[in-house]
Chain A
Amino acid sequence: MKAAPFEYARPATLAEACSLLAAHGPDAKLIAGGQSLVPMMAMRLARPAWLIDISRLAELQRIAVPAGLPADRDGHFIVGAGVRQCVMERDPLARASVPLMARALRWVGHVQTRNRGTIGGSIVHGDASAEIALVACVLDAMLELRDTSGVTEVPAREFFLAPMITSIAPEQCLTEIRFPLWRGLGAEAMRGCAFDEVSVRHGDFALVSACAQVMLDADGRCLRAELGIGGAASVPLALPELGPLLIGTRLDEQAITAAADAAADLIDPEGDLHASADYRRHLARVLVERVLRAAKEDAMRDTSKERTR
């Protein structure tokens, strides 16, 4: 299991990295943590002629919530694409701003891979069962892509096209991911979230995963709900069409069952060696129920400590 020969460059700036990408085109690949790319190269499923190492670029290490109230009043949290998964998992600002990601990261690989793997690297890899990509879709995150001609923004929900295929061009580098903060729903609103999955071994690829984030008013009524399912389609799947089944309810069992049934109807999973299509659909229904219940409990618990800031 040895990679085919390649040449290596470690540019000092993002601009230099983009120039190298432009010069080498599809023959070059960016490497950050390499936790998905290196195995693919070992198996020779990927054979780049050039590896451009962006793991040490300070420009890709930002973790911030920009100050000032933005026009949409929702606000956003910014994480650099090169931030390692273990760093975002532990960062207090990240945990408070995007708690759903902190929960999802517990399911991503193992300690050793999270110490190297990056947030952006998982997203551009485009695995349909990837937890980070699912959270980006469910929260309707915005991705910033850069090349030598400038910056392009793509919603995460439009980024994933097919297994391991995204809309990124060979000369583009994912630089930042912006997660909406849901601030626009009022100071009294309570946010809750949950992530759950079933896999053969904890840390292995999910057979099916699901996650949800909900916002409840002081009365316990649902103001907003987003949920999604991983591993049950060719891409990580946000299901915004389920929001209307939940908004206005108290997330009682009837509403949760209706949403879980609708989710199971909306997906069209494929069967493989690890799980049949029927089993995946069953898991999707069960996991959607679980994450909605858990997100509701999380929001109720949240009344005193977290609000929404």
Chain B
Amino acid sequence: MSEQLYPVSIEVNGERREALVTARLTLVDFLRDTLRLTGTHAGCEHGICGACSVLLDGEPVRSCLMYAVQADGRSLTTIEGLAQPDGTPDALQDAFCEAHALQCGYCTPGMIVAAHALLEANAAPEEHEIREAIGGNLCRCTGYQQIVDAIKLAAAKRGGSAA
């Protein structure tokens, strides 16, 4: 028995993408396997680690905790959509390099998406606000301090003053 397919039309990084998907296809699998946008990482696949964070209509959400059909008609921004138009890293991505905020890099796309959402809403966050914003993202090697430093650095570079 073949599974029922559902049409979806989702704006991904400014581009309208259409596909037929099974209902159980998670948004992260849709991004990675259907669209081949593998910057979004699949970690725990049950909503604990935050590696799969994407922006849904500008708000950070976990793409493993949504089915692609639920995103029909909505607008998504993934890590691929955060770089500058010519593909070079933006200020936040640069800051992650500069402050050594990644080692293995597995959590990095989720961390950057979460931090991006924070800085869009709050240009000069206090340290506790930075920690709250990335509180749903697990890193198992950097140790968080450099990630917090990178977000402060990015806030300063973007024109806000870091806490």
Contact = CB atoms under 8 A, between A and B. Distances in A.
A106 to B, nearest CB: 9
A112 B23 contact: no
Interface stretch (A33-41, A218-226, A229-237, A252-260): A33-41
A111 B60 contact: yes
Given A7-B23, A8-B69, A110-B136, A115 B46 contact: no
Contacts of B56: 115-116
A269 B60 CA distance: 36
A111 B70 contact: no
A115 B60 contact: yes
A261 interface: no
B46 A112 contact: no
Contacts of B61: 112, 115-116
Contacts, number: 87
A38 B66 contact: yes
A7 B23 CA distance: 6
Contacts of A1: 44-46
B4 interface: yes
Nearest to A116: B61
A7 B47 contact: no
Interface in B125-145: 132-133, 135-136
A10 B117 CA distance: 28
A270 interface: no
B70 to A, nearest CB: 6
Interface in B43-83: 44-47, 50, 53, 56, 59-62, 64-67, 69-70, 72
A110 B135 contact: yes
B66 A116 contact: yes
A112 B66 contact: no
- Residue from B23, B61, B70 whose CB has the most chain A CB atoms within 10 Å: B70
A257 to B, nearest CB: 31
B24 interface: yes
Interface residues on A, range: 20 to 34
B138 to A, nearest CB: 9
Interface in A115-132: 115-116
Contacts of B135: 110-111, 201-203
B66 A34 contact: yes
Given A39-B46, A110-B50, A111-B132, A34 B60 contact: no
A6 B25 CA distance: 10
Nearest to A35: B65
Contacts of A5: 3, 22-24
Contact of A38 (B4, B47, B53, B72): B47
A86 B60 CA distance: 11
**5 tightest CB-CB pairs across the interface, nearest first?**
A110-B136, A8-B23, A1-B45, A39-B46, A3-B24
27 contacts: A1-B44, A1-B46, A3-B24, A5-B22, A5-B24, A10-B69, A31-B70, A34-B66, A38-B26, A38-B47, A38-B67, A42-B46, A51-B23, A51-B67, A53-B69, A55-B70, A110-B50, A110-B135, A111-B132, A112-B60, A112-B61, A112-B114, A112-B136, A113-B47, A115-B56, A116-B61, A203-B135
Interface of A: 1-8, 10, 31, 34-35, 38-39, 41-43, 51, 53, 55, 86, 109-113, 115-116, 201-203
Given A35-B65, A112-B62, 14 more contacts: A7-B4, A8-B4, A10-B72, A34-B66, A38-B64, A41-B24, A51-B67, A110-B136, A111-B60, A111-B136, A112-B53, A115-B56, A116-B65, A203-B136
